[in-house]
Amino acid sequence: MHIAIEGCLHGELEKVYATIAEIEQAENINISLLLCCGDFQSMRNLADLRCMAVPDKYKELGSFWKYYAGIEKAPLLTIFIGGNHEASNFLQELPYGGWVAPNIYYLGYAGVVDVNGLRIGGMSGIFKGGDYLKGRYEIPPYDKWSMRSVYHTRNLDIFRMKQMESSPPDIMMSHDWPRGIHDYGNTKRLLARKKHFEEDITNNQLGSGPAMEVLQTLKPQYWFSGHLHVKFAAVVKHGEADTDKSTKFLALDKCLPSRGFLQILTVGPEVGPNEEVILSHDPKWLAVLKATNHLLSTSSKYNHMPFHSAEYDGDKHLEEIRELDLRIHPDSFKATAVPFDPQSPEGRQPKVQKALNMVADPENILPNPQTQFLCKVLEIDDPVVVLAKSGDKKPERKQAEEQKTPEKDTSSRLDLSAYLPTPSQDIDPDTKISLSGDEDYDDLGFEIDTKGAAGADEELGFVVDTKGATSNEDKRDSQSQKTDSSADQSPVVKKLKRRNVAMYKSEDSD
């Protein structure tokens, strides 16, 4: 099947889908699946936007809410992992994965699924040493610490993924790069394009150590990442012999004009143009979840993992799990929040910051019917329920700082799908909150190169590339390092650059 892989989405679903449609037409192919490597930004409404770790002045709602509200429909199955800019309160509802909108599936903190026989795994978040060993204690309303630690990778999810060793997925995704992966590709070229990685590369601090451990344990055929906003390819050989496995790594850029943000790959079983694309749970992964359920922690204290043992690989549960209906039914999506309404008083605000001040922080996480169902079938704990019950959900500094907020009644659950607004196509552009949703696709420079990417990418057999003009990309990167005010940069590009620089210079940076 043909699949598309995207780096960081940053809320630009419509643009990525439009690019995929262009490629399908130009290449006369049918793309069955889109994989997104994090910073997806599945904001349903402004309250979700308040939970995303980005300084207020850089916050944008993006286009996801239209898919959530049913105004737009994802044209192909889309699977994503979380990054460090997410609607973290919403993703917390789905720790073991689930639909966030029709045809758009989140893999959870970690997860493995099956698409027509192709097995895809992923791990959400980014690595930060100080939080790695802690349980998942964060709960909305977040303070400035928990808003960040909520997306930091935890040892339990890595431990679980390592249990897949005997039956690894074909494809793996992580938002940050596996640490040291740069050594397996053209580091010189990477540094020529991203000089500011030099210090981290020298100190071997670029990327996630645990992600590299998983790569070396599972040895998957492919590994895709985002986060560092550059296209970069590498091959990790897992032994000296020709017959030994190797992992083809590809990092992709974020969705911006003239950037290497999308890759088309032909992989796995063939899927005909009229054939149904079927998403299913991976039985081995569910078996691992079951076998490690007792290791779940919602405490901010360290939660050490046991030594590797067959006890946790789930094989003892495999037979009973294979008996279950493993299909993830497309109609099992259920809305759990009221989506953004452009006609509401806050929706009519031309400035995001003002609109954000008109809504309150989410006060809790509601149990999500998809998580409840999966946990019931597997007879495991729903982490959201465990968290709600646990006394130790907030570290001391947070408790001390917290201001009293009025209690909201969250005891009864509504089926909110009945309250969705009537789909409307003609939203007044003046009331549109996204600052980056106005460009004409034709002007974005999404050229399609059928010759394939040059250099390392070509060696890897990534045959169709959306841009391919590697030399132009090189030029652009080196120019943009010299000056931030080059004439070809849109205000949005400049704004994102300023935001990244500001964030990674600040002490709370990731």
Residues in contact with ligand 5GP by CB under 6 A are: 8, 39, 84-85, 196-197, 200, 206, 227-229, 500, 503-504
The CB density around residue 438, as the number of other CB atoms within 10 Å, is: 9
Query: What is the smallest separation between the CB atom of 254 and ligand 5GP, expressed in angstroms?
Result: 7
Binding to Mn ion by residue 11, rule CB under 5 A?
no
What six digits make up the tokens of 225?
A: 């990442």
- Residue closer to ligand 5GP by CB (options 55, 423) is 55
Min CB(38)–ligand 5GP separation in Å: 8
- Per-residue tokens: 199: 């210090």
Q: Which of 477, 486, 500 is nearest to 194 (CA)?
A: 477
Cβ distance to Mn ion smaller for residue 175 or 290: 175
Instruction: CB nearer to ligand 5GP: give 25 or 481.
Output: 481
Contact track, Mn ion, 69-108, x by CB under 5 A: --------------xx------------------------
E-strand spans in 383-492? Answer: 464-465
Whole-number minimum distance, CB 304 to Mn ion, in Å? 28
Residue closer to ligand 5GP (CB basis): 132 or 159: 132
Distance in angstroms (rounded) separating the CA atoms of residues 61 and 457: 33
* Closest CB 175 distance from Mn ion, rounded Å: 6
- Percent helix / strand / coil, the chain, rounded to 5: 35, 15, 50
Q: How many residues lie near Mn ion (CB under 5 A)?
A: 4
- Min dist CB 495 to ligand 5GP, Å, is 12
Rank residues 110 and 126 by Cβ distance to Mn ion and give the closer one. 126
Q: Taking the complex as a whole, how short is the minimal distance between the CB of residue 477 and Mn ion, in angstroms?
A: 18
Rounded to the nearest whole angstrom, what is the least distance from the CB of residue 173 to ligand 5GP in the complex? 15
Closest approach of Cβ 485 to ligand 5GP, in Å? Answer: 18
User: Do 247 and 223 form a contact (C-beta atoms < 8 A)?
Assistant: yes
Length of the chain counted residue by residue: 510
Interaction between residue 227 and Mn ion (CB under 5 A): yes
Cβ distance to ligand 5GP smaller for residue 8 or 236: 8
489 lies in the site for Mn ion, by CB under 5 A: no
154 belongs to the binding site for Mn ion (CB under 5 A): no
Measured in whole angstroms, the distance separating CA 80 from the mean position of its chain's CA atoms is 5
Binds 196, which of ligand 5GP, Mn ion, none (CB < 5 to 8 A, cut-off by type)? ligand 5GP
Minimum distance from CB of 443 to ligand 5GP (Å)? Answer: 23
Q: Residue 289: which of Mn ion, ligand 5GP, none does it interact with, CB under 5 to 8 A by kind?
A: none
Name the segment binding Mn ion (CB under 5 A); options: 32-40, 307-315, 347-355, 441-449.
32-40
Instruction: Name the binder of 171 from ligand 5GP, Mn ion, none, CB < 5-8 A by kind.
Output: none
Q: First and final CA of the chain: distance in angstroms?
A: 36
Q: Burial code of 23-40, b = ≥16 C-beta within 10 A, e = fewer?
A: bbeeeeeebbbbbbbbbb
The tokens for 226 are: 């985002």
Q: Is 39 in the site for Mn ion (CB under 5 A)?
A: yes
Q: For residues 35 and 279, give the distance between their C-alpha atoms in angstroms, rounded to a whole number.
A: 13
504 binding partner (options Mn ion, ligand 5GP, none; Cβ < 5 to 8 Å by kind) = ligand 5GP
| Cβ-based nearer residue to ligand 5GP, 216 or 500 | 500
**What's the burial of 386, exposed, middle or buried (CB within 10 Å: 0-12/13-18/19+)?**
middle
- Cα–Cα distance between 448 and 255 in angstroms, integer? 15
**Shortest spacing between CB 98 and ligand 5GP, in angstroms:** 24
Residue 197 touches which of Mn ion, ligand 5GP, none (Cβ within 5-8 Å per kind): ligand 5GP
Q: Which residue's CB is nearer to Mn ion, number 107 or number 375?
A: 107
196/237 with CB nearer ligand 5GP: 196
The closest of 269, 214, 189 to 470, measured between CA atoms, is 189
Q: Which pairing describes strands 77-80 and 98-101: parallel, antiparallel, or unpaired?
A: unpaired
Q: Which is nearer to Mn ion, 39 or 313 (CB)?
A: 39
What is the C-alpha separation between 437 and 427, in angstroms, rounded?
12
Q: How far is the CB of 35 from Mn ion (least distance, A)?
A: 16
Map tokens 């679903």 to a residue: 13
- Token digits for 495? 């704004």
Residue sitting closest to ligand 5GP (CB): 229
Cα distance between residue 467 and residue 448, in whole Å = 6
CB closer to Mn ion, 84 vs 124: 84
State the sign of the Cα–Cα–Cα–Cα dihedral 107, 113, 118, 123: positive
Nearer to ligand 5GP, 2 or 229 (CB): 229
- Which residues, 6+ apart, have CB-to-CB distance to 179 below 8 Å? 127, 204, 205, 206, 207, 208, 209, 211, 212
Pairing between β-strand 232-237 and β-strand 246-251 as defined by DSSP bridges:
antiparallel
What's the angle, vertex CA 199, arms to CA 196 and CA 203, rounded to 5?
A: 145
Q: Which does 503 bind (CB under 5 to 8 A by kind): Mn ion, ligand 5GP, none?
A: ligand 5GP
Name the residue with the smallest CB distance to Mn ion: 227
For helices 283-291 and 369-378, give the axis angle rounded to 10 degrees: 80
Q: Is the distance from CB of 238 to CB of 264 less than 8 angstroms? A: no
Q: How far is the CB of 199 from ligand 5GP (least distance, A)?
A: 7
Binding residues (CB under 5 A) for Mn ion: these are 39, 83-84, 227
